[in-house]
Chains A and B, each alone.
Chain A
Amino acid sequence: MVIVFQSKPSLIAGGVVAGPLEKRSIFSQYFDATFDDERWQMKTNEQGHRKMVEEACEFAMKKAGMKSADIDYFMGGDLINQMTPTNFAARDLDIPFIGLFSACATSISSLIVASLLTEVGASKLALAGASSQHNAVERQFRYPIDYGSQKPQTAQWTVTAAGYALVGKHHEEYPSIEAATVGKSVDYGMDDPFHMGAAMAPAAFQTIQSHLEQRNQKIYHYDLILTGDLGQLGLKLLKGMFLESGIKSEELQPLRDAGAEFYGQDETFQSGASGAGCSAAVFFSYVIQQMRAGTYKRVLLVATGALLSPLTFQQGETIPCTAHAIEITME
């Protein structure tokens, strides 16, 4: 079911910080800061990951002229076991907190929960977002960083970035949240952890289609439908699914993917970027800023997540995926 927000909570500010490789991102000019040290001068990757979450939240709060004492709720998550980077960041931020896990779709699941809290009047200001740190994620899901394995063309590169948005009451100056669709867990039998775009594309398709149907909208109602991290191949597959459902290719113009565009055409990154920080970084910097500048009036953000673990992969299971969507408008 689609959730329609009567009060239209607004995205007051966004804070995005990213790592050294992300300087090469075509979105880097929209980030608040990029760091040369991916560990943020901490001892471990995981501590650096935590620091990154705190920095992103600080930027979001600073832009709105707020301190952590002014924030009612902190909603977020990451990809590390038990989400310790976000949990530990919550300890230092000292804000009432719920950790949320939807893999790389966490940026939007957090935003949906924060919007609901705002809608029911429980929250005046809430932080919502997600993050990922390349080294910390890779060692958990795949191989040690310095292990010389050959990645196929279908592989994607986990982004080092944290993106958090400050959600508050409706304000016409800011982009506002109109509606949201919570995605199902979709499994089309894909089982290759080096081809996540293919696993996630059906989830994105189902969520977008269901959102459009229930909102009685067509693709052309949107200036931009931006998926999180399908990558170049995943985006092709998503478009392929729309084409087969009878939609013409010129109608698919608003359909873009943050992961496919993130590193530009650089082949080092294979099919593109991925990770919870990918969608969060692009949604809460580029999209918010472009909407405030008036480039986009109506946007559908669709964060996509592959709900696998190294354990399920080794046990031969397929990869269930999810996609959550949020519809944002600018008056």
Chain B
Amino acid sequence: MEKEQYQQLEQNVTPKPPYFKNVAKAFLVGGLICTIGQAVSLFYMIFFDFTEATVGNPTVATLIFFAMILTGFGLYKKIGQFAGAGSAVPVTGFGNAVVSAAIEYRSEGLVLGVGGNIFKLAGSVVLFGVVSAFFIALIKFILVTIGVVSW
């Protein structure tokens, strides 16, 4: 059988990914995580001395803490299999990427194992996050300087 012929056969046999179902599940779980995040924000604003501008950091830290607990108990991968991008895109997905790598490389020791590999998956998120933040800030700085928008 020729390569092209086989690739045709492979296309026919392989089921198409259920895009709509995946999108719906990602929307629901992603939305749920964000709703929990909103509740955490409100909690810090009502019961502690945070404002809308300052509540971001403790909220993110709390969500990552939740993700850490769920990852440690082996539950986050189950959520991930169900939700796909819904649990990968929110900050909890970042937490999961860091913590799962830390657990994985514990057997190679704290320095060479955990330390050397903890950002193996999340490293590119950090790198490209920082780089794109820099360029967005630069664009805004230029727009403010020429008077199109204000800070």
Bound-complex Cα distance A148 to B33 (A): 14
Q: Does B6 contact A144, Cβ atoms closer than 8 Å?
A: no
Given known contacts A139-B104, A244-B1, A148 and B79 CB-to-CB distance under 8 angstroms? yes
Interface locus among B37-45, B81-89, B140-148: B81-89
A190 at the interface (CB under 8 A from B): yes
B46 at the interface (CB under 8 A from A): no
CB distance from A85 to the nearest CB of B (A): 14
Of B14, B83, B121, the most chain A CB neighbours within 10 A belong to: B14
Given known contacts A145-B77, A147-B80, A148-B88, A189 and B13 CB-to-CB distance under 8 angstroms? no
Q: Which of A144, A150, A190, A233 contacts B84 (CB 8 A)?
A: A150
Interface residues on B, range: 35 or more
Q: Does A198 contact B88, Cβ atoms closer than 8 Å?
A: no
Binary per-residue interface labels of chain B (88-126) against chain A in the complex, 1 for a CB within 8 Å, 0 otherwise: 100001001101110111010000000000001100000
Binary per-residue interface labels of chain A (137-158) against chain B in the complex, 1 for a CB within 8 Å, 0 otherwise: 0010001111111111110000
Bound-complex Cα distance A237 to B100 (A): 35
Bound-complex Cα distance A189 to B9 (A): 13
Complex contacts, A190 vs chain B, CB 8 Å? 10
Binary per-residue interface labels of chain A (230-246) against chain B in the complex, 1 for a CB within 8 Å, 0 otherwise: 00010011001100110
Binary per-residue interface labels of chain A (214-252) against chain B in the complex, 1 for a CB within 8 Å, 0 otherwise: 000000000000000000010011001100110000000
Q: Which of B5, B74, B87 contacts A146 (CB 8 A)?
A: B74
Bound-complex Cα distance A223 to B24 (A): 46
Complex contacts, B129 vs chain A, CB 8 Å? none
Number of A-B contacts (CB under 8 A): 94
A290 at the interface (CB under 8 A from B): no
Given known contacts A154-B14, A241-B6, A148 and B104 CB-to-CB distance under 8 angstroms? no
Q: Does B76 contact A144, Cβ atoms closer than 8 Å?
A: no
Of A45, A46, A198, the most chain B CB neighbours within 10 A belong to: A198
Bound-complex Cα distance A44 to B106 (A): 9
A129 at the interface (CB under 8 A from B): no
Bound-complex Cα distance A237 to B6 (A): 9
CB distance from A186 to the nearest CB of B (A): 10
Bound-complex Cα distance A154 to B16 (A): 10
Complex contacts, B1 vs chain A, CB 8 Å? 202, 205, 241, 244-245
A49 at the interface (CB under 8 A from B): no
Q: Does B107 contact A147, Cβ atoms closer than 8 Å?
A: no
A243 to chain B: closest residue by CB:
B9
CB distance from A156 to the nearest CB of B (A): 13
A313 at the interface (CB under 8 A from B): no
Which A residues from 20 to 64 make CB contacts under 8 A with B?
Answer: 43-46
Complex contacts, B96 vs chain A, CB 8 Å? 146-148
Q: Does A148 contact B121, Cβ atoms closer than 8 Å?
A: no
Complex contacts, B15 vs chain A, CB 8 Å? 153-154, 233
Complex contacts, A147 vs chain B, CB 8 Å? 77, 80, 96-97, 100-101, 121
A134 at the interface (CB under 8 A from B): no
B59 at the interface (CB under 8 A from A): no
Binary per-residue interface labels of chain A (97-137) against chain B in the complex, 1 for a CB within 8 Å, 0 otherwise: 00000000000000000000000000000000000000000
User: What 14 additional pairs, Cβ within 8 angstroms, besides A202-B1, A244-B9?
Assistant: A139-B104, A145-B77, A145-B100, A146-B77, A147-B97, A148-B79, A148-B88, A150-B22, A150-B80, A150-B85, A188-B6, A189-B7, A237-B13, A240-B13
